[in-house]
Amino acid sequence: MNRMSENDQLYRLYRQLTSTDPERVSAIPGSGSNRRYFRLGGDENTLIGAFNSDLKENSVFVSFTRTFLVQGLPVPRILAESADGYAYLLDDLGDTTLFGFLQEQRRDQSAFPVSVKDYYKRILSLLPEFQVKAKPDYRLCYPRDTFDRQSMLWDLNYFKYYYLKLAAIPFDEQQLENDFNAFASFLLEVPQDYFMYRDFQSRNVMLFKEQPWFIDYQGGRRGALQYDVVSMLYDAKADIPGDTRQELLEHYLHTLSNLIHFDQKQFLKYYPGFILVRILQAMGAYGFRGYYEKKQHFLQSIPYALRNLETIRTHKFLKSFPELERVIGRMIDAPLPAGIVTAGSVSAEKGLVSLPETGKTSTGLTVKVTSFSYKRGIPQDVTGNGGGFVFDCRALPNPGRYEEYQQITGKDPAVIEFLGQKPDVEIFLNAVFSLVDQSVTTYLERSFTNLMVSFGCTGGQHRSVYCAEAMAGHLRKNFSVKVELHHREQE
């Protein structure tokens, strides 16, 4: 299916549903999947269009959605489907994920924000509703209807081939295979009769109208209660502090106990095992997407995942799996594999991940971020290196057209709120971040010393200033570099 036929189907579905044509159809940046999403509509009302060539996955998503809606669970409605099953329209739940909200709230504080913790508690209160009350048609699940031995071994071998081998971590293959089988047997000692979301993490929860909404559950199947709680609390780049994790786990267990009777001591006995199997699955994904598919931003999650492994490194259950225990130790103690430069770094001496504070500088790379007005020309490179990026912000919504914003800048709360609510701005910045991150990673590897990133708009007052501020904050949070921020027209 080519892009033209995708647009044709989107327009046709939109017309069938609304009896009008959409004013705009804009692509939404994807992540790790092959599904493609588009936003359709005008300034007031929009819908999400989805394309996926995997018909089985579409069938599962549609069926599960209908089941969850009957149960009153907060998922998007399916508003229209194409006759061939490749495309469908959904409610538009905005662009704010739980992860995005966490990043925004955490930007200027070191502690885990109370506002974010409250959302996590609401989300973990809803999780048992999915696990216990929802009864989807498991016959549609694929490739397996249960998180059984085969599923576990697939995940563990995914980790072995796409992380251990690509990162050159030594291991005894036969002994590790023996441990994988024994580890799967250990996990299968717990009941597997609950709905398992499979990818229950902060990027798959949308925050819309101050309520959490759940998406991307097409990989769901039967499984153990522990798996989804672990997935949310040990979500790598969410980097939830240990004491907050414990508080959230206790909140979940209390909510679950109001729905079913279960043995909490038994739940906690196997809980670390599910921490391990989930982290190893994620490490395989980071290796596959990062090393194999060359998507650098996936590699940035590896130090966070290693720090999560550190929390169970000495747990007594690992003693039953000696080669797996040795492999985990080697992963934690080894220097980061070549090609990974992130906000976190692994100490080869202590085997710990340390995350630098905002603005901390430990490299020779300086990134100069500048806002400017095209009326006065593009900023010159004074380092003599040339290159870098110049991003044109003039296609973004312009606060300067409104009288109330004309005497203030992109650093003022009113303008920040105005631009922060515009989906086009977030899409633009996500694309910018992806491009700049790739260069910063390479520059750090090659010991380059300077990079320019400039944002221009008509007057150099609103859009360019807002984007430059966002870029500087993103770099300080995610890389150990020196950031020089300049607003040329204000200076």
Of the residues 75, 91, 107, which one is the last residue of a structural domain? 91
Where the chain has pLDDT below 70, the residues are: 1-5, 30-33, 108-110, 336-363, 382-386
Strand partners, 25: 40
Tell me, yes or no, whether 134 and 248 share the same domain.
yes
In a domain, 360, yes or no: no
- CA dihedral sign of residues 161, 162, 166, 172: negative
Helix (H) or strand (E) holding 310: helix 302-310
pLDDT digits (tens, 9 = 90+) for 369-391: 999 999 988 988 766 666 789 99
Tell me, yes or no, whether 412 and 483 share the same domain.
yes
Tell me, yes or no, whether 249 and 323 share the same domain.
yes
Among 225, 226, 204, 214, smallest CA distance to 32 is for: 204
What's 189's domain CATH number? Answer: 3.90.1200.10
In a domain, 423, yes or no: yes
Rounded to whole angstroms, how far apart are CA atoms 411 and 404? 15
* 3 state DSSP class of 366: strand
Tell me, yes or no, whether 228 and 126 share the same domain.
yes
Supply 89's token pair: 């329209």
Tell me, yes or no, whether 380 and 344 share the same domain.
no
Helix %, strand %, coil % for the chain, to 5?
50, 15, 35
Helix (H) or strand (E) holding 456: strand 450-457
In a domain, 361, yes or no: no
- CA dihedral sign of residues 168, 169, 175, 180: negative
Tell me, yes or no, whether 144 and 29 share the same domain.
no
Tell me, yes or no, whether 181 and 273 share the same domain.
yes
Tell me, yes or no, whether 85 and 115 share the same domain.
no
Measured in degrees and rounded to the nearest 5, phi and psi for residue 229 equal -65, -45
Of the residues 319, 354, 389, which one is the last residue of a structural domain? 354
How many folded domains does the chain comprise? 3
In the prediction, which pLDDT does 465 show?
Answer: 96
In a domain, 359, yes or no: no
pLDDT digits (tens, 9 = 90+) for 167-214: 889 999 999 999 999 999 999 999 999 999 999 999 999 999 999 999
In a domain, 403, yes or no: yes
Q: Where are the alpha helices (DSSP H) in 391-479?
A: 413-420, 423-445, 463-478
- Angle between helices 98-106 and 114-128 in degrees, nearest 10: 160
What's 14's domain CATH number? Answer: 3.30.200.20
Tokens 């000692």 belong to residue:
189
Tell me, yes or no, whether 289 and 375 share the same domain.
no
In the prediction, which pLDDT does 350 show?
Answer: 30
Of the residues 29, 57, 91, which one is the last residue of a structural domain? 91
In the prediction, which pLDDT does 421 show?
Answer: 87
Tell me, yes or no, whether 180 and 68 share the same domain.
no
Rounded to whole angstroms, how far apart are CA atoms 201 and 228? 8
- The contacts of residue 99 (CB under 8 Å, 6+ apart) are 201, 202, 203, 235, 237, 238
In the prediction, which pLDDT does 384 show?
Answer: 65
CB 75 within 8 A of CB 206: no
In the prediction, which pLDDT does 337 show?
Answer: 53
* 3 state DSSP class of 385: coil
CB 149 within 8 A of CB 182: no
Rounded to whole angstroms, how far apart are CA atoms 402 and 404? 6
pTM: 0.70
Which residues constitute the domain of residue 36? 3-91
DSSP-assigned states of every residue in 237-288: GG---HHHHHHHHHHHHHHHHTT----HHHHHHHHHHHHHHHHHHHHHHHHI
Tell me, yes or no, whether 176 and 218 share the same domain.
yes
In a domain, 319, yes or no: yes
Tell me, yes or no, whether 226 and 284 share the same domain.
yes
- CA dihedral sign of residues 175, 179, 180, 182: positive
